[in-house]
């Protein structure tokens, strides 16, 4: 499987996030990818391809232009205004705060952020932009260069980002950008199967009224888990998108047997849809010891996960999303790809 690495992945390295009422070090930090690269090399994988630069077009096909401009420009403006730390929201335009949006920087940040866990710092835009290019390079390998599968090894992740909102450590939605680009490159039907522990709220929202991109997510029940406000089983799509979104929220403590049963439901839906290409936002925060999640998958289980995805028998683009137990993260990710390759052969 061809692997593409975001060479700018360490440029986003924010100062901290709110967690359980305290300001703590960011769970989503460069050591995650450092450890994945180390584990891949220990498993004999040494070829990490560089991304091609496809420019802004695919980004603007999904995200609003004013939002993209905000992401690109907010940090220097923020610092020029006298702020000494990272860009962090502290007020949001909830219903009743009627004069939002306007141009004050704090008002803008609250307008575009939906959570406080995703500080923007000097390198955030560059790391995020390069991450999109890495994802698009992985898509190109599969859609145009005959590869059966490719893996985009990148951070920050993307699946929580909406058209014009960031949060959950995500700024641009790599999966949605890839899905749209796949459509624009000629795929008639695209499927996004999100296996991160957290619901892929941004991806769902972006395609919620469309039937040309089937979105599915297997995740921790949002009644107890981030992103709380989206990801329930009764969200099935709207308008012409009705029936083209499937959420499979699972209970805290879910193990591989229960997870596999959910995947089998997803697989049935995918087979009925018969997409041209499969995009898999891959988080390994389903791991038993993950510090911000509640499933109980083991390192061995990820081999099975990869094999189950291979059984779908579709060209596949894997995109790195979450996974915060930094020690075993590399072997867990490697095992998904290993299980896929073994299952595909
Ligand atoms: Zn996650």
Distance in angstroms (rounded) separating the CA atoms of residues 80 and 93: 24
The reply to whether 96 falls in a domain is no
Q: Using one digit for the tens of pLDDT, what is the confidence trace for 280-296?
A: 999 999 999 999 999 99
What number is the average pLDDT over the span 268-279? 98
Q: What is the CATH number of the domain that holds 35?
A: 3.40.800.20
Measure 19 CA to ligand 1 centroid, in angstroms.
Answer: 15
Is the pLDDT assigned to residue 142 strictly greater than 80?
Answer: yes
Measure 103 CA to ligand 1 centroid, in angstroms.
Answer: 32
Residue 58, Cβ density class (10 Å: 0-12 exposed, 13-18 middle, ≥19 buried): buried
* 160 counts as catalytic: yes
Q: Using one digit for the tens of pLDDT, what is the confidence trace for 40-71?
A: 999 999 999 999 999 999 999 999 999 999 99
Q: How confident is the model at residue 105 (pLDDT cuts 50, 70, 90)?
A: very high
The reply to whether 84 falls in a domain is no
The reply to whether 272 falls in a domain is yes
What number is the average pLDDT over the span 303-313? 98
The reply to whether 214 falls in a domain is yes
Q: How confident is the model at residue 100 (pLDDT cuts 50, 70, 90)?
A: low
What number is the average pLDDT over the span 11-17? 94
Is the pLDDT assigned to residue 101 strictly greater than 90?
Answer: no
Cis peptide, bond prior to residue 227, ω within 30 of zero: yes
What number is the average pLDDT over the span 67-83? 97
Is the pLDDT assigned to residue 96 strictly greater than 70?
Answer: yes
Q: Using one digit for the tens of pLDDT, what is the confidence trace for 22-33?
A: 999 999 999 999
Q: Who's near 312: CB < 8 A, 6+ residues apart? A: 193, 267, 270, 271, 278
- Provide, rounded to the nearest whole percent, the portion of the chain with pLDDT above 70: 99
The reply to whether 109 falls in a domain is no
Instruction: Report how many domains make up the chain.
Output: 1
Measure 220 CA to ligand 1 centroid, in angstroms.
Answer: 9
Measure 230 CA to ligand 1 centroid, in angstroms.
Answer: 14
- Residue 135: what pLDDT? 99
Distance in angstroms (rounded) separating the CA atoms of residues 142 and 148: 6
Measure 198 CA to ligand 1 centroid, in angstroms.
Answer: 4
User: Could you tell me the residue range of the domain that residue 153 belongs to?
Assistant: 2-52+123-344
Q: How confident is the model at residue 102 (pLDDT cuts 50, 70, 90)?
A: confident
Q: Using one digit for the tens of pLDDT, what is the confidence trace for 209-242?
A: 999 999 999 999 999 999 999 999 999 999 999 9
- Residue 99: what pLDDT? 80
Q: Who's near 66: CB < 8 A, 6+ residues apart? A: 164
CA distances from 255 to 58, 222, 286, 319 (A): 37, 17, 9, 23
Is the pLDDT assigned to residue 345 strictly greater than 90?
Answer: no
- Residue 103: what pLDDT? 86
Catalytic residue among 160, 198, 199, 219: 160
Is the pLDDT assigned to residue 244 strictly greater than 90?
Answer: yes
Measure 292 CA to ligand 1 centroid, in angstroms.
Answer: 8
> 84: which DSSP letter?
-
The reply to whether 23 falls in a domain is yes
Is the pLDDT assigned to residue 122 strictly greater than 90?
Answer: yes
The reply to whether 317 falls in a domain is yes
The reply to whether 118 falls in a domain is no
What number is the average pLDDT over the span 128-146? 98
What number is the average pLDDT over the span 115-134? 97
What number is the average pLDDT over the span 165-191? 98
């Amino acid at each position: 499987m061809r692997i593409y690495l975001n060479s700018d992945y360490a440029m986003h390295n924010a100062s901290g996030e709110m967690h359980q009422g305290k300001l703590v070090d960011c769970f989503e930090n460069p050591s995650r990818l450092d450890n994945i690269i180390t584990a891949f090399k220990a498993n004999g994988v040494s070829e990490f391809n560089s991304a091609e630069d496809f420019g802004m077009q695919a980004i603007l096909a999904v995200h609003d232009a004013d939002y993209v401009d905000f992401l690109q420009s907010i940090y220097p403006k923020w610092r020029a205004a006298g702020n000494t730390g990272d860009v962090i929201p502290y007020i949001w335009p909830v219903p009743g705060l009627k004069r939002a949006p306007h141009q004050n920087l704090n008002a803008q940040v609250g307008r575009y952020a939906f959570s406080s866990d995703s500080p923007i710092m000097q390198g955030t835009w560059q790391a995020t932009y390069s991450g999109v290019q890495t994802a698009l390079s992985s898509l190109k390998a599969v859609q145009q260069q005959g590869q059966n599968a490719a893996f985009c090894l990148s951070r920050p992740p993307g699946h929580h980002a909406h058209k014009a909102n960031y949060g959950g450590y995500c700024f641009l939605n790599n999966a949605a950008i890839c899905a749209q680009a796949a459509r624009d490159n000629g795929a008639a039907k695209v499927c996004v199967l999100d296996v991160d522990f957290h619901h892929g709220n941004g991806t769902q929202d972006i395609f919620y009224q469309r039937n040309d991109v089937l979105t599915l997510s297997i995740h921790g029940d949002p009644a107890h888990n981030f992103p709380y406000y989206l990801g329930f089983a009764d969200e099935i799509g709207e308008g012409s998108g009705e029936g083209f979104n499937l959420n499979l929220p699972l209970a805290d403590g879910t193990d591989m047997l229960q997870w596999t049963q959910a995947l089998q439901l997803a697989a049935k839906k995918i087979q009925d849809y018969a997409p041209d290409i499969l995009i898999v936002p891959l988080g390994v925060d389903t791991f038993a010891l993950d510090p911000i999640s509640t499933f109980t998958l083991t390192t061995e289980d990820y081999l099975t996960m990869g094999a189950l995805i291979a059984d779908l028998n579709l060209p596949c683009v894997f995109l790195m999303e979450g996974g915060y137990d930094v020690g075993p993260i590399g072997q867990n990710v490697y095992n998904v790809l290993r299980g896929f390759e073994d299952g595909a052969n």
